[in-house]
Structure 1
Amino acid sequence: MTKIRTTAVRSGMLPVAVLAVLVAGCGSQRPGDTTGAGASSRTPAATPSKPADFPCPGESPTPTPTPSASASGRAVPPTDHYAENHGFMVPIPLHGERRCEGLAAVGRVEDALEPLRRRGDFDPENTRSALTALGYSAGNVQSYQNGSTGVSFLIDASPLCVEGTMNLDSTEADAFAGYPDHTGCDRPSGGH
């Protein structure tokens, strides 16, 4: 019996020791305290800077701002975590010189496809041929029928991606830098 009582006393001491450490805290500095001559003991964390966008050739001096997730003015994240859970499907925007390369690629693609659109030629193979004629490898160009009078396309010229559509009304393309947590230019179907 004595052995059981000793074990009970020893096991009861562990929570008391843990409680004593928690009450004492870890260190004597509290929020708002300063170290030395008014300097903080912590080094400031590097704030990520937004890459500089400058006017590209043929563009006005003030580039068009890219739409942001907070365009509605809400700074509070959604409570259902939809945006967080689907962030892997949001294309990475291009900045700096890559942005200019993307705009130039978009212009070339739209110019190459516009004659097909005016003729009403929405055959995915003809679209693909027009895009490979620009110098893109046939293995990196995908085109799909998009309704009876439309075509969707994707060019994987990694690290530059160009995707778009062509229909009776217009030819539109967009360039981006791929997707987070994913290699290649095709839209990922699952995240982490």
Structure 2
Amino acid sequence: MTSSTPTAGAVLLAAGVLVLTGCGTKVSGSGAAAAPSPVPSSAQTPDHAARQAAAVARHDALFPEMARLCADRATAVPSVPPDDLPTDPEARKYAENHGYKSQFPLSPQDRCRGDAHAARIKAALGGGEGKDAPRTTQELSRLLTGMGYKPETGDVYGSGPGNLAFVLKVPESGPCVTGRVSVPVQVEAHGAYLESGCREPRGGH
């Protein structure tokens, strides 16, 4: 009778060990524990500086004249004071109400590039007097496209001679350029609006 007791205890002890070793451990077919999921490496993080440099290189290949003209300009964007509102109450209120028209600042190189594109387009429109300027939105769109700009639907608008306008982003890495084919012709470069890209936002508060 006494010899059967240790045997039964050994059986129970072995069963308990099997239960404990089976809990919480996932075993693969080869008997080894499954490897943890790989942690994303920092190399997979998008490199925005590299993307920007690649965009500049593509722009410079499309417009080598602008590349030469602006190559020595600084690329750092100037810092903007946290609160540069005027101290005069009325002027401050006006500035606050029109804050939705704020634009992203341009680096000296972006400013140079934008001004060069604006001057190029203005010359193609006949200079300040708009001599031989396009007379329809279709003509204006064809002119801009032929110069290497690709205005999208709605970026060229107006209702006839002297009342045409356009807005576009310089291809790849440039700022915005806005123009009005009137007398005199007006073309200017500027940073993108904080709320609406190159197109001037409407409304406010």
The normalised TM-score by structure 1 is 0.51
Counterpart of 1:110 in structure 2 is 122
Larger strand percent: 1
Larger helix percent: 2
Question: Which residue of 172, 184, 201 corresponds with 1:170?
Answer: 184
User: Which residues of 2 match residues 33-52 of structure 1 at below 5 A?
Assistant: none
Counterpart of 1:160 in structure 2 is 175
Aligned residues: 120
Per-residue CA deviation, residues 88-107 of structure 1 (Å, 9 max, x unaligned), is 11444533111111111101
Counterpart of 1:186 in structure 2 is 199
Per-residue CA deviation, residues 132-154 of structure 1 (Å, 9 max, x unaligned), is 11111242772222665231111
Question: Which residue of 121, 136, 141 corresponds with 1:128?
Answer: 141
User: Which residues of 2 match residues 10-89 of structure 1 at below 5 A?
Assistant: 57=69, 75-78=87-90, 81-89=93-101
Q: Is the 8 A contact 2:114 2:174 kept in 1?
A: no
User: Which residues of 2 match residues 133-148 of structure 1 at below 5 A?
Assistant: 133-139=146-152, 142-145=155-158, 148=161
Structure 2: 5+ residue runs without aligned partners? 1-67, 71-85
Q: In structure 1, give the amino acid aligned to 2:123.
A: D
Q: In structure 1, give the amino acid aligned to 2:188.
A: D
Q: Is the 8 A contact 1:162 1:174 kept in 2?
A: yes
Q: Is the 8 A contact 2:137 2:164 kept in 1?
A: yes
Of structures 1 and 2, the larger Rg is shown by: 2
| In structure 1, distance between residues paired with 2:91 and 2:113 | 37
Counterpart of 2:111 in structure 1 is 99
| In structure 2, distance between residues paired with 1:176 and 1:140 | 21
* 1:99 to 1:79, Cα distance in 2 relative to 1, 3 A: closer
| In structure 1, distance between residues paired with 2:178 and 2:166 | 6
| In structure 2, distance between residues paired with 1:148 and 1:126 | 11
Counterpart of 1:45 in structure 2 is none
Q: Over aligned residues, Cα RMSD in angstroms?
A: 3.2
Identity of matched residues, %: 29
Structure 1: 5+ residue runs without aligned partners? 1-55, 59-73
